[in-house]
Amino acid sequence: MAGLVVDKVTHLYAGRSDHPPALDQVSFSVDPGQFCALLGPNGAGKSTLFGILTRLFAPKSGRVEVAGHDMSRAPLKALARMGVVFQQPTLDLDLTVWRNMLYFAGLHGITGRAAKLAASEALDRLAMVERGSERVRDLNGGHRRRLEIARALMHRPEVLLLDEPTVGLDAQTRADLVAHVHQLARDSGLAVLWATHLTDEVHAQDALVVLHRGRVIERGVAEQVGPELTQHFLALTGGLTGELTGERQPA
Ligand SMILES: Nc1ncnc2c1ncn2[C@@H]1O[C@H](COP(=O)(O)OP(=O)(O)OP(=O)(O)O)[C@@H](O)[C@H]1O
């Protein structure tokens, strides 16, 4: 099955041999059309995993496969099938939506008419076409995020990775964005990996991987993993709901 495969990935940072591995035998897969939530508190290893999935660095052991391409044997093919939305926005605020899209298309070697077609298709998928001529600086946080997702889809990847994409958004905008990306996975057969530490971003039918201190401690369909997921996660995070809601409150 294509999509994303993570198989027994282990990673230890240099100079940290006296610490447990940042990732320890992490295995899961995301099928085409599936939305997989990667849930983990701070320090769980989500950023390390994203670094490995985007080939920022190689794991000490284990295997990553994107759309059937092995990341270590065929990295260019694997990376070409992947779209990524990083935690930190990387848009040019002074350019229009349209210019940001065309600039990024150029980085992928897509130019001319093909670039315009790819940009308008991707903006359409995120309901952003009518904002094409607006400067990014004038967009609200939710629209900026949608633009980043549209940009990540321009080269028509089969796997989409998003690293805590709702950071800084209000509750309603967060819910809208989560719903939109769920629909995107369903409608276009994208395999989506959505990293978060917020349980309310996980829908009942999602695939769920819970990462804690570098290990997968739960894996399965969200509603089967546990209706008490929130309680379970609260226990992991030391009883601070702030890990879940963004508002730190004593338990
Ligand atoms: N560059 C680094 N050098 C050494 N140790 C690191 C480095 N980056 C992360 N770690 C350690 O690896 C473990 C996993 O961290 P990681 O940043 O991947 O977790 P995370 O789930 O992304 O957390 P956060 O949401 O806080 O970024 C932690 O123990 C962290 O201290």
Residue range 72-127, pLDDT digits in tens = 999 999 999 999 999 888 899 999 999 999 999 998 889 999 999 999 999 999 99
Q: How far apart are CA 244 and CA 173, in angstroms?
A: 16
CA-CA distance, 136 to 98, in Å (whole number)? 9
What atom of ligand 1 comes closest to residue 48's alpha carbon?
Answer: 18
- Residue 244 or 124, more confident: 124
Residue 161 φ then ψ, to 5°: -105, 135
Question: Is 29 touching ligand 1 by the criterion CB < 6 Å?
Answer: no
* Ligand 1 mutation pick, 9, 18, 26, 46, max ligand atoms within 8 A of CB: 46
pLDDT tens digits, residue range 199-230?
889 898 999 999 999 999 989 998 887 666 65
pLDDT digits (tens, 9 = 90+) for 159-203: 999 999 998 899 999 999 999 999 999 999 999 999 998 888 989
Ligand 1 centroid from CA 189, angstroms = 31
CA dihedral for 100, 30, 211, 194, sign (positive or negative): positive
Ligand 1 binding pocket includes 42 (Cβ within 6 Å): yes
Q: Is the dihedral of CA 106, 79, 166, 50 positive or negative?
A: negative
- Give the mean pLDDT of 138-145: 95
pLDDT band at 251 (very low <50, low <70, confident <90, very high): very low
Determine if ligand 1 sits within 6 Å of the CB of residue 41.
Answer: no
pTM of the shown model: 0.89
Q: Where are the alpha helices (DSSP H) in the chain?
A: 46-53, 75-80, 97-107, 112-125, 141-152, 171-188, 222-225, 229-236, 242-245
What is the structure's pLDDT at 168?
A: 87
Among the listed residues 160, 126, 139, 164, the one whose alpha carbon sits nearest the alpha carbon of residue 38: 164
Residue 136: its pLDDT value, please?
A: 97
With residue 162 as reference, give the H or E element that holds it: strand 159-163
Q: Which of 48, 194, 197, 213 to mutate to test the pocket of ligand 1 (most atoms within 8 A of CB)?
A: 48
Has residue 242 got a pLDDT over 50?
no
**Ligand 1 in reach of 13 Cβ (< 6 A):** yes
Domains and CATH numbers, the chain: 1-81+158-251 (3.40.50.300), 90-156 (no CATH)
How confident is the model at residue 107, as a pLDDT? 87
The per-residue pLDDT of the chain, averaged, comes to: 89
Given a contact cutoff of 8 angstroms between Cβ atoms, the answer to whether 196 and 37 are in contact is yes
Alpha-carbon gap, residue 9 to 68, rounded angstroms: 17
What backbone torsions phi and psi does residue 198 show, to the nearest 5 degrees? -115, 110
Residue 247 has what pLDDT?
A: 34
Structure tokens belonging to residue 227: 């209706």
